[in-house]
Structure 1
Amino acid sequence: MTHIATEPDQLTRFLLPDAFTRGAIIRGDGIVREAMRVHGLNGPAADLFGQTLVASILLLSISKGGMRQVLQLDAAVDSAAPLRRLLSEARPGAVRGYVSWQEEKTALRYVEHSGLGSWMGSPVRLSTVRDMGVGHPYISTIEHASDHLADQLIHYLNQSVQIRADIILHGDLGLMIEAMPGCDEEHWFKAVEAMAKIPNTILERESTESILSHFSTLNCKVVGSDSYAYRCDCSREKMQAALDGISKEQLEELADEQGKVTLSCQYCDNFYALEIGA
């Protein structure tokens, strides 16, 4: 599979000192375009998958040095909606993900559904893995009934992490603010009010600098940035190791005439023809 290089997208971290609030913003244009190319998506399904990728990066940005952030959305129990699962995995500098469709529903990926419930039913089950790199990942699962992924994330942060946050996911843009110690109701109202007043036309196409200018009354200060790209770290060695858990008999059934088993990576669609017992 040919990889087309794209410029990395920038996540910018900022402070709103006058509201005791911090935040992060990223326009994931390159990430979303590469993910859509890899997975062959467009339309509303592509938008939802793109938001999932951007959202996992935002969650990683508040992990205080975390090594990995997985965001997984699973369809409601017994749902007949098209999507079974959306998954995104963010690491410093990289994000990847995949889409799992309900059986015989893949043709519906181009249907003009609107809202998360139309794609996955309700309530959606949201699961996260926050890996701090010390061997004990924090795993959380909640269910919430909302058509908007941003609402799902706000509910998760409030219920499972006890973080007061507000999030905007609009096109390829992700914007999140989080209350810091000392942020009272008045401070938080000012931060949320400033974010709510940013016009959709600005969110759709303007630069990070232009968007952050709407927080100028709160003394907005940029404190750092990180680059991210859609990138998978699969390899022949990792795929070969995956065969270790399959019995010899099963491998022989899967092998072709040359004695090779072909595996594909669900994150990037690369194929690997592997020798049995190599």
Structure 2
Amino acid sequence: MANKRDMTNPAVESDVLTRFLLPDAFTRGAIIRGSAINKEAKRIHGLNGPVAALFGQTLLASILLLSISKGGMRQVLQLDAATGSFAPLQRMMAETRPGAVRGYVNWQEQQTALRYEEHAGLSSWMGSPVRLSTVRDMGVGEPYISSIEHNSEFLADFIIHYLHQSVQIRADIILHGDLAIMIEAMPGCEEEHWFKAVEAMAKIPNSVLESASEEAILAYFSELSCKAVGTDHYAYRCSCSQEKMKAALQGISSEQLLQMADEKGKVTLSCQYCDNVYELEIGAAGN
């Protein structure tokens, strides 16, 4: 599907996520080609090469986790480097709310990143094992928080392992370039049904995953009576504001605020999700 403008911010394009059913396999899924999301994330964070691709996959995986299963109001997906690792990345985080995703990358040794330019494997960037943590906020009660450690070069393996171990969900996922697709077994899905769904997804050629439309990709599930059942629009969009930045300073003592302030009595804060810069007067921040 073509990208569309995000009506809350017409300068930012959005991508379309399609939710689908495979009735003959008692399976459901979601697919999104996040070209606009990845483009905006790369622009904001100044990323290129393999690490840009990995960050884009993290954003899209977070969207998939929110969009299928039981849904919710917020989904956080966080990757932390192996303890004691000297790999260049310390943390990679994505946060998804309905219609919007944002994230950030914390560098441990950014100056060494060029050494890893030819290595796309996760361990090259974060060591091994990497810790994956999730927060699923359903909007009622306490959020569900889970963490696992896993060894793999591919983020998709981490997501599958997490769903199986922590959520007891049988799922399969593909993260390829700017494409993300996930299928999940529904009640009534027996081994033979699940095998058919996984087999159909495994038969999609890399060349198709690389650039074909979502409709063309879903055609590979036609023998399972594939049916699109809904769409959602997602854009890389941050919810930071002057008011939220002021609230972030509430827990800081007056002495610390004075140390942070410039000669004009203002504190400058930068949003790690979008690089917007806010100048706050100490008096206003303390009110």
Report the AA paired with residue 177 of structure 2: G
User: Is the CA contact (8 Å cut-off) linking 1:63 and 1:132 kept in structure 2?
Assistant: no
Residue of structure 2 equivalent to 1:186? 192
Local SS of the residue matching 1:182? coil
Report the AA paired with residue 233 of structure 2: S
Work out which of the residue numbers 157, 163, 167 in structure 1 matches 2:169: 163
Residue of structure 1 equivalent to 2:65? 59
Residue of structure 2 equivalent to 1:105? 110
Shift of residue 75 of structure 1?
A: 0.3
User: Is the CA contact (8 Å cut-off) linking 1:63 and 1:130 kept in structure 2?
Assistant: no
Residues 128-174 of structure 1 deviation map (CA, whole Å, 9 limit, x = unaligned)? 00000013100000000011000000000000000000000000100
Q: Is there any run of 5+ residues in structure 2 with no aligned partner, and where?
A: 1-8
Matches within 5 A, 1:108-123: 108=113, 111-123=117-129
Residue of structure 1 equivalent to 2:276? 270
Residue of structure 1 equivalent to 2:152? 146
Residue of structure 1 equivalent to 2:75? 69
Count the aligned residue pairs.
275
Shift of residue 6 of structure 1?
A: 3.0
Report the AA paired with residue 108 of structure 1: A
1:133 aligns with 2:139: yes
Local SS of the residue matching 2:249? helix
Work out which of the residue numbers 224, 229, 233 in structure 1 matches 2:235: 229
Report the AA paired with residue 69 of structure 1: Q
Q: Is there any run of 5+ residues in structure 1 with no aligned partner, and where?
A: none
**Seq. identity, %:** 76
Local SS of the residue matching 1:5? strand
User: Is the CA contact (8 Å cut-off) linking 2:51 and 2:120 kept in structure 1?
Assistant: no
TM-score (norm 1): 0.97
Residue of structure 1 equivalent to 2:36? 30
Residue of structure 2 equivalent to 1:48? 54
Residue of structure 1 equivalent to 2:84? 78
Report the AA paired with residue 273 of structure 1: E
Residue 265 to residue 198, structure 1, CA distance change in 2 (3 Å): same
1:219 and 1:65 mapped to 2: Cα distance?
Answer: 24
User: Is the CA contact (8 Å cut-off) linking 2:94 and 2:103 kept in structure 1?
Assistant: yes
| Segment of structure 1 superposing worse, 114-123 or 90-99 | 114-123
Residues 102-142 of structure 1 deviation map (CA, whole Å, 9 limit, x = unaligned)? 0x434516722220011001110000000000131000000
Local SS of the residue matching 1:272? strand
Residue of structure 2 equivalent to 1:10? 16
Residues 177-221 of structure 1 deviation map (CA, whole Å, 9 limit, x = unaligned)? 000011111100000000000000000100000000000000000
Local SS of the residue matching 1:245? coil
1:70 and 1:5 mapped to 2: Cα distance?
Answer: 25
1:42 and 1:138 mapped to 2: Cα distance?
Answer: 33
Local SS of the residue matching 2:13? coil
Cα RMSD after superposing both structures: 1.2
Shift of residue 63 of structure 1?
A: 4.4
